[in-house]
Amino acid sequence: MSANVADKTPVFDASPNAGESLARRHPCASCSVRDLSFCHCLDTEELDELESIVTHLEVPARAPIIDESEPAEFLFNVTGGAIKLYKLLADGRRQITGFLFAGDFLGIAMKENYVYSAEAVNKATLCRFRRGDLENMVDNNAKLSKEMLSMASNELEMAQEQMLLLGRKTAKEKLCSFLMTLSKRAQRRGEASSPIFVPMSRADIGDYLGLTTETVSRTFTNLKRDGVIRLQEGSMIHLNDMEELDDFAEGN
Amino acid sequence: MSANVADKTPVFDASPNAGESLARRHPCASCSVRDLSFCHCLDTEELDELESIVTHLEVPARAPIIDESEPAEFLFNVTGGAIKLYKLLADGRRQITGFLFAGDFLGIAMKENYVYSAEAVNKATLCRFRRGDLENMVDNNAKLSKEMLSMASNELEMAQEQMLLLGRKTAKEKLCSFLMTLSKRAQRRGEASSPIFVPMSRADIGDYLGLTTETVSRTFTNLKRDGVIRLQEGSMIHLNDMEELDDFAEGN
DNA sequence: CGGAGCTTTGATCTTCCTCAAAAACTGTGG
DNA sequence: CCACAGTTTTTGAGGAAGATCAAAGCTCCG
């Protein structure tokens, strides 16, 4: 039950390569997702400190990353791929509470033990920190502490939006909201807003939206039939009319 | 649309009485809910500072307190009564995202504009702060900043639990979870865990649990019939078997 | 090329919603 | 203290969205 990747030797670790190019010695400084990550607020010196406590990991699709109720030994920053966070009921019913992508932090609402589980959707890369190490750094760094509060605040806002979705939206509205959220996220990151990459399975989408796989599939079929979306190869989905989609998402 | 109590002259304001007893001059120091509130972490001097930016309000049942998408001018700390937070869809569907009680802080996930609305469930008392004032104080006070992060973290955990409830629990499980949550909260505050005070209407409970008023009522009736709960006068609900209730809540 | 795992589609069923009306409460004024 | 009007809660009947059960297509890899 504790055979987590978190426990294993990292597949990829930058530290053995230290002492060569600046990029090698300071991978954080040249990190491609730093401006999306909590560490964007740190200066060179602070990055050095961060680097001294980080381990870089690469995990395959479906790899478990943390398990609810296990001691919260590690926190993570996602640098590539997608991660799903979820909670389970005793009989196996699952609620995915969020998806994390490059730049997202994993471990904000953490006590002594993890309060949810996390698993890689596809191949993913992560920065791993010992909780104590990172907490220490946050305690002694006002910028970092402010950044954490800001992240928690954003997460909370997203969670409230998701509660509205789960409690009050129809299947169609849920799915349209989901697509719009992915699209807007891509846009914020400077990617195209329309063919969007949707790496998660129908089952994952269902467990995120409070629906079954079958209902997700049927609703996708309806949206295709009505010309709202077009499925493309490689898990890409083309959104034909963003404004229409947004209206559907908001129940108009 | 902006006829909020927040805009009006406070019904009750401690400042005019200043200059008399210590309790008057330092109401914060003698506040009965301080150890439940974010300000429990402040020393006497800091309390003075806090006091210089606070206004005390009393609002009647159903009074609107903040409105989603209005400029976020004020933040609040609840000192008495109950407050509901909610989001609306265009056609009036409502999702209550949380209830606040004495000691709870209102305004954690706040941007320039409010991201949800809030309204008093019953007569309530509040400490009101200008957002800028409080943010200033938080920025210059590590204890306060840490406290805010901790509160945000707790909120987030509760939100995730609520997502599990909304997405994956049955009506009976939802209602039992709701009662258990209220009971545990009361217990944490040193109150009895069993006859619990449930001031909100069936409609409010429904909008919190993603159900209709009728389903809430029917489910209450079933729980009464099965001897799980007993409704008492004054909105009190007696929980006959906490363990059984908890099992129902978790889907066992 | 083959097979395991997704996804889609179909048929049927269940839970919860909707609409409607009666019953119980709440507060107010006489 | 009681009567009454408005509101909230409860109960009932019927309906609909989405779940469940089942099976057929697809995909993607090895």
Cβ of B171 near strand C (under 7 Å)? The reply is yes
pLDDT in tens, B159-204: 999 999 999 999 999 999 999 999 999 999 999 999 999 999 999 9
Q: Report the distance separating Cα B22 and Cα B242, nearest Å.
A: 43
Q: Looking at residue A174, what is its pLDDT?
A: 98
Which nucleotide, over all strands, has the C1' atom closest to the CA of B225?
D10
The span from the CA of B74 to the CA of B110, in Å, is 10
Give the integer Cα–Cα distance in Å for B54 and B49.
9
3-state secondary structure A109-169: CCCCECCCEEEECCCEEEEEEEHHHHHHHHHCCHHHHHHHHHHHHHHHHHHHHHHHHHHHC
pLDDT for residue A81: 96
d(CA A13, nearest CA chain B) in Å: 30
pLDDT tens-digit readout, B37-56: 999 999 999 999 999 999 99
**Chain A closest CA to B87's CA: distance in Å?**
7
**Region B124-144: what's the mean pLDDT?**
95
Residues in chain A: 252
pLDDT in tens, B75-84: 999 999 999 9
- The predicted-structure confidence for A231-250, as pLDDT tens digits, reads as follows 998 899 999 999 999 999 99
pLDDT tens per residue across span B191-201: 999 999 999 99
DSSP result, A18-55: TTSSHHHH-TTTT-TTGGGSGGGG--HHHHHHHHTTEE
How many beta-carbon pairs below 8 A join chains A and B?
Answer: 122
Task: Please tell me whether any atom of strand C lies within 7 Å of the Cβ of A214.
Answer: yes
Average pLDDT, chain A: 90
Strand C: which nucleotides have any atom within 7 A of a protein Cβ?
6-11, 15-20
In contact, B95 and B86? CB cutoff 8 Å? yes
What's the pLDDT band for B219 if we cut at 50, 70, 90? very high
How are strands ordered across the β-sheet holding A94-100? A64-66, A117-120, A83-88, A94-100
A4 pLDDT band, cuts 50/70/90, is: low
Q: Check whether A109 has a pLDDT greater than 80.
A: no
Report residue A131 CA to chain centroid gap: 18
pLDDT of residue A175: 98
- Chain B residue closest in CA terms to A252: B90
In this prediction, what percent of chain B has a pLDDT beyond 70? 90
Residue B1 has pLDDT above 70, yes or no: no
Residue A147 CB neighbour total at 10 angstroms = 19
Closest CA to A89 of B107, B149, B163: B163
Mean pLDDT of A224-228: 96
Interface of A with B (CB under 8 A): 85, 87, 89-91, 93-95, 97, 108-111, 115-116, 139, 142, 145-146, 148-149, 152-157, 159-164, 166-169, 207, 209-210, 250-252
Q: Is the pLDDT of residue A8 over 50?
A: no
C-alpha A236, offset from chain centre: 18
Q: How confident is the model at residue B109 (pLDDT cuts 50, 70, 90)?
A: confident
| pLDDT tens-digit series, residues B119-128 | 999 999 999 9
Residue A212: CB less than 7 A from any atom in strand D: yes
- For residue B100, give every residue at least 6 positions away whose Cβ sits within 8 Å of its Cβ, in sequence order, or none: B78, B82, B83, B84, B85, B106, B118
The predicted model gives B209-216 an average pLDDT of 98
pLDDT of B94 higher than 70: yes
Give residue A178's Cα distance to chain centre.
14
pLDDT at B213: 98
* Percent with pLDDT over 90 in chain A: 86
**Over the stretch B13-22, which tens digit does the pLDDT of each residue have?**
433 333 334 3
Question: Which chain D nucleotides are covered by protein, judged by CB under 7 A?
Answer: 8-13, 17-22, 28
pLDDT for res A242? 96
Residue type, A168: R
Nearest nucleic acid nucleotide to B233, CA to C1' distance: C25
How far, in Å, CA of A146 to CA of B145, rounded? 8
B221 Cβ within 7 A of any nucleic strand D atom: yes
**Contact check, Cβ <8 Å, B166/A163:** yes
Instruction: Look at residue B96 and tell me whether its pLDDT is greater than 70.
Output: yes
Q: Residue B27: which pLDDT band, with cuts at 50, 70 and 90? A: confident
Instruction: Evaluate if residue A13 carries a pLDDT over 70.
Output: no
What's the token pair of residue A135? 């907490």
The per-residue pLDDT for A26 is: 56
Q: What is the rounded end-to-end Cα distance, in angstroms, of chain B?
A: 46
- How high is the pLDDT of residue B45? 93
Q: In the structure, what pLDDT confidence band is assigned to residue B234 with cuts at 50, 70 and 90?
A: confident
CA distances from B122 to A10, B40, B42 (A): 55, 25, 29
Better-scored residue on pLDDT, A7 or A76: A76
Nearest C-alpha of chain A: how many angstroms from B107?
Answer: 10
A43 contact partners, CB below 8 Å, separation of at least 6: none
Average pLDDT over residues A16-36: 64
Instruction: Tell me if A94 and B168 make a contact (CB, 8 A cut-off).
Output: yes
Tell me how far apart the alpha carbons of residues B69 and B81 are, in angstroms, rounded to a whole number: 25
> A32: which 2 tokens?
């491609």
Backbone CA torsion sign across B160, B162, B167, B173: positive
User: What is each CA distance from A91 to A24, A232, B97, in whole angstroms?
Assistant: 47, 35, 26
Q: For position B4, what pLDDT does the model report?
A: 52
Measured in angstroms, the CA of A150 and the nearest CA of chain B are apart by 8
pLDDT at B19: 35
Average pLDDT over residues A35-42: 94
Q: Any bridge partners for residue B57, and if so which?
A: B126
Q: Is the CB of B172 under 7 A from strand C?
A: yes
